[in-house]
Structure 1
Amino acid sequence: MNWIEAIGYLGTVLTISASAMSTMIPLRIIALLASCAVITYGFLIGSMPVVLTEAIQIPFNAYRLWQMMRLVRDVETAADGDLSLEWLRPFGSERPFGIGEVLFRKGELATEMYYVESGLFRIPEYGIDVRKGGIVGELGLLSPGNARTASLVCVEAGRALCVPYSEVKQLYYQNPEFGFYFLKLTSERLFQSANQKAAQAQVPEAAANSDVL
């Protein structure tokens, strides 16, 4: 086997390795290296069909690799909490709310979530305040029967963008940044709820202990 055949075999090994991979970024990188090796082999043996086939594949693999790298960067941005949700505006309708107005009550059927643009809103069951830039009402999309898991009351007059769940589902599948942010948000809300319930359970226990003492 001479060095020209070695290059051809290298291209074959890299192509097979790329086909066997399950993670996309390494797959695209190996595929690009395989194309380079096969193109080199094609030139050395004078086979233009081989060169042309691999030359056509390189731009596709390079573009897909760039997409995946950008996706990873965007997900990291979302994980750091730097994701701006101003682009949600075309997918919802803006509504004003006055002091004391109840946006929804626990147990009601949930059909939309809210992106707070101004004012102050409170989840009374857990004592959680939602301010400008916050999202609330998202758990109803995940709860059994789409029932509200808590209530929401306007404490300071303001405005909120109401986004129907039908739009939320589309955004979740179409926008990776929003999908990751949504999962992170719901997880944080569940932890807040669990911590609040644990704190409430400790109060009666502490009172009982004080009575004994």
Structure 2
Amino acid sequence: MDTVSIFGWIAAGLVLSSFYLKTMVPLRLVAMCSNVMFIIYAVLSDAPPILVLHCLLFPLNLWRLIEAHNLRHKFAKALQVEISPALLLPFMQKCTSHQGRAIFQKGDNADNVYLVLRGQVVLQDSEHPIADGQLFGLLGVFSNERRHSDSASCLTEVEYGVVASEKFLELVTQEPRFENYVLRTIVQRHLVPGQKTKRPEIGNLTAENLHGTLGQL
């Protein structure tokens, strides 16, 4: 095997290995290494399309790596205080809704996670209002269909924070302590007495199977 082929196979192996990585920082590092190997391969084999492609991909991966590093740094700084949903605030957009207005309906796509900042929110299938400092809209994010199996409406005028579910899941998977906090929140609310109907979104909810679900994200 000649030198050119060696660089090509190394590059291909790095690309393949990147598909087995679950967290963003290692994935970007491996992707950047594969870009370098492909650039060397393209120069030695006189392949301009491959050279141009990976010369463009390298700075893009570097940019995403810096973003991921900054995100981890910001989240780690927030975790220096007591674990609470408030650490999501830097990543949230604030919204206000009037009393009686629906925030989401049963069957809607679970594209966001919500945090009550002021006021009270009530879920259709629960008798217990969700008050200041509490998350809601969690079950739909972890369901197979990624849809809400309940409706949420404003019991009072409500100010709340909204974070995209993808960003929320990224934060959860990067910090085990926050992952455990979310786990406890979902389990406690799912098993709360007085709930009118059992929510079917994530099947038989236990600490073990939800932790496994988070680990696969």
Normalization by structure 1: what TM-score?
A: 0.52
Bigger fraction of residues in helix: 1
2:100 matched to 1:100?
A: yes
Aligned residue in 2 for 1:166:
166
Quote the offset at 1:114 in angstroms. 0.5
1:144 alignment partner, SS class = coil
1:132 maps to 132
- Establish whether residue 118 from structure 1 lines up as the match of residue 118 from structure 2: yes
Partners of 2:109 and 2:85 lie apart in 1 by 25
Tell me the SS of whatever aligns to 2:153.
strand
For residue 87 of structure 1, report the CA deviation from its aligned partner.
1.8
Measure the CA separation in 2 of the matches of 1:123 and 1:193: 14
Q: Which amino acid aligns with 2:130?
A: V
Q: Distance in 1 between matches of 2:185 and 2:148?
A: 16
1:1-213 residue pairs with structure 2 within 5 A?
A: 83-192=83-192, 196-197=196-197
- Provide the alpha-carbon RMSD of the alignment: 2.4
CA distance in 2, matches of 1:175, 1:94: 24
Gap change, CA 1:104 and 1:193, over 3 Å in 2: farther
- Percent of aligned pairs with the same amino acid: 23
- Scaled by the length of structure 2, the TM-score of the pair is 0.51
Change (3 A) 1:86 1:102: same
Structure number with larger C-alpha Rg: 1
Match of 1:11 in 2: none
Q: Distance in 1 between matches of 2:108 and 2:193?
A: 18
1:10 maps to none
Which residue is 2:61 aligned to? none
In structure 2, C-alpha distance between the alignment counterparts of 1:155 and 1:92, rounded to whole Å: 22
What is the alpha-carbon distance in structure 2 between the residues aligned to residue 146 and residue 84 of structure 1? 24
Distance across 2 between alignment mates of 1:101 and 1:161: 16
CA positional deviation for 1:118: 0.2
Deviation sequence 1:116-173 (CA, Å, 0-9, x none): 1001110122222000011100101111211102110001102100011111111111
Count of residues in Structure 1 that have an aligned counterpart in Structure 2: 120
| Per-residue deviation, 1:195 | 5.2
